[in-house]
Structures are given as C-alpha cells and as structure tokens.
Amino acid sequence: GWGLALSGSRVQEHKHTVTEHHVIEANATVFQQLKEFAAKENAKSDGTPKVIPHFGLWRDVLKDIEKKYGKAFFDSALYDTYPQDRAMQHTHQFDFIKAFEPLLKPGGVITYCNLTSTGELATKEGGNFDTVFDKYHRPLLKAAGFDHVAYPIKFKLSPETIKARGECEYYMHDVCLVPLVYKGKEHKYSLKRSEQPAQKKAKTGA
C-alpha cells in the first residue's frame, strides 16, 4: 500500500541502489496520488528509483506481476498495510509473504510491519517481543516457506519520536521490530534472542 507515502518515500532515498520500486495500492484516490508521485520521481535523472504503480489488491496484482516478469524477479519486498478486518489482524502479512515467495530471488529479503498486531500481542506477552516473534510469527513464516528466520532487529524509539507520536490507538510500546526474512539461507542478521534493542534517533517526517 502507498498510504501516507511514509515508507515509500524512504525507499526513494536509496538512489543508485534501488533501480525499480513497485508499489501496489487498492484505493483509487490514493492510487491517483501515487501516479502523480511516480511521474515526478520518474522524471528525475539522478539515480532515483523508478516507481512502478500497480492498482488493485495484492492477491490479484501479484498474479499479473508474475505473468509479466516471471518468478524470482524481486530482490526484496516491504509489506506495510492495514488489515481489512479483525479476523486478519494477526495473520494478513503472512498470507502476502507466502504468495510473494515465488517472486523473490534466492537470498532476497522480505520485511513487514503490522503494528496493529504487534502492539496487542506484545501487551499480551508482557512486552517480550522475542516471545511474540517465536509464538506468533516464526511458525507462520516457516509455513510460508522460510526456514532460516532470524530474530528481528529491535530498536528503541527516541524520546523525540515518542513525544511526536502522542497517543496511538494501537501501538504505545517504546520498542519496534524490523523482521528480516531471507529466502533460502541464514543471514548475518541472525540476532540472538537476548539482544537488547538499539536506540533509534528520530528523523523528521518519520
């Protein structure tokens, strides 16, 4: 999803590293904003990634992408969207990951964000994020075809970020997770379960 363009805009900062940035958006109004953004970005000649918008739900769009580009096409994927209903709150990201796996190159990586789920489960598990990952994430990642799953990077929000966030209806924890799910191999980011979260400095607009 394109949403408020927060994560998508960050991807665009990786000039000369990311060559193509495919974005799936199902909301017609937001998609129009995405197309306008893509037009501006694609007119640049400074190494800015080319933005390729796709309209529709990811379940449908991934099929079209595979037909056009084939399997093992992407180096990475970021899944960051809001659940469509309560029943999918804790699992919708794993449905995407399983469907995307054939499109990911060997050694490629998927990361995802599901704060509406993580916030609730972390509260349920007493703030133990490793337990949340082991109990609710790892089994479903393995079922999606990813056997070598590292513990996610944990970073602690800065006081500035916490203040800017204010009251959030679904996530009030001071620690966030960055899962790095690699295809076909264990990666250097295989963090130990006991690793303490790193301090994350605030960035304007994050």
Spell 102-112 as b/e; 16+ CB within 10 A means b.
ebbeeebbbbb
- The model's pTM is 0.84
Residue spans of the chain under pLDDT 70: 185-206
Please list the residues that pair with 112 across neighbouring strands.
Answer: 79
Amino acid 49: pLDDT: 97
Q: Residue 122's CB: how many other CB atoms inside 10 A? A: 20
- Alpha carbons 153 and 67: distance in angstroms, whole number: 34
